[in-house]
Amino acid sequence: MFSPLMQQIIEREGLPVLSADTLDDFARGGGDMVLMAGGDWQRHAEVNDLAVILPEILKAAGGRLTGAVLERESERAVQTRFRFNRYPVLIFLRDGGYLGRIQKVLDWADYIAEINAILACAPHDPPPYEFPDGCAPAQAADRPA
């Protein structure tokens, strides 16, 4: 379930809501796209901020980006696939291939700089998970025998 504000923006902007099963078909051959995964809007205060920012990003891109929103039920599957560890997140794809992500709300100038850098990349594998300090998995030498 989306926040009331997010639902209103989805409807007003005509943003498609995708599942883990429909994402590939939607993204394949569609050029550059940005997918918003919000997470639990009652736990993550930035969800509504990003919901307001997403249409502004699409307008600033001048038609170069297609926007979509990920359904809540598919968040874990997509999180595992694209290896992000923070909500809300914007995931950038080109013809279905991964370009990059933005995992926090930024100042407008920083969005423009980050998005331009992401769109300048060729599709590549998502980076490995980034573990918070003190939560990194044990190295083989650190494990008991």
Please state the domain count of the chain: 1
Is the pLDDT at 134 greater than 80, yes or no? no
Mean model confidence pLDDT for the chain: 91
Give the other-Cβ count within 10 Å of 116's Cβ.
10
Determine the pLDDT at residue 1.
87
Determine the pLDDT at residue 129.
75
| 119 found inside a domain | yes
| 82 found inside a domain | yes
| 113 found inside a domain | yes
Report the distance separating Cα 70 and Cα 76, nearest Å: 11
| 22 found inside a domain | yes
Give the other-Cβ count within 10 Å of 13's Cβ.
15
Determine the pLDDT at residue 137.
58
**Pairing of β 17-18 and β 32-37:** unpaired
| 87 found inside a domain | yes
Report the distance separating Cα 4 and Cα 51, nearest Å: 11
**Pairing of β 65-70 and β 17-18:** parallel
pLDDT grade for 132, boundaries at 50, 70 and 90: low
**For residue range 41-97, what is the model confidence (pLDDT) as tens digits?**
999 889 999 999 999 999 999 999 999 999 999 999 999 999 999 999 999 999 999
Amino acid at 72: R
User: pTM (2 decimals)?
Assistant: 0.88
Give the other-Cβ count within 10 Å of 47's Cβ.
22
Could you tell me where the DSSP H helices lie in the chain? 4-13, 23-27, 46-60, 75-82, 108-119
Give the other-Cβ count within 10 Å of 52's Cβ.
12
**For residue range 2-32, what is the model confidence (pLDDT) as tens digits?**
999 999 999 999 999 999 999 999 999 889 9
| 89 found inside a domain | yes
Structure tokens at 139: 């190295």
Determine the pLDDT at residue 128.
87
| 21 found inside a domain | yes
| 76 found inside a domain | yes
Report the C-alpha dihedral over residues 77, 86, 92, 116, rounded to 10 degrees.
Answer: -170
Report the distance separating Cα 122 and Cα 36, nearest Å: 20
Domain that residue 18 falls in: 4-123
Q: What is the CATH number of the domain that holds 33?
A: 3.40.30.10
Is the pLDDT at 143 greater than 60, yes or no? no
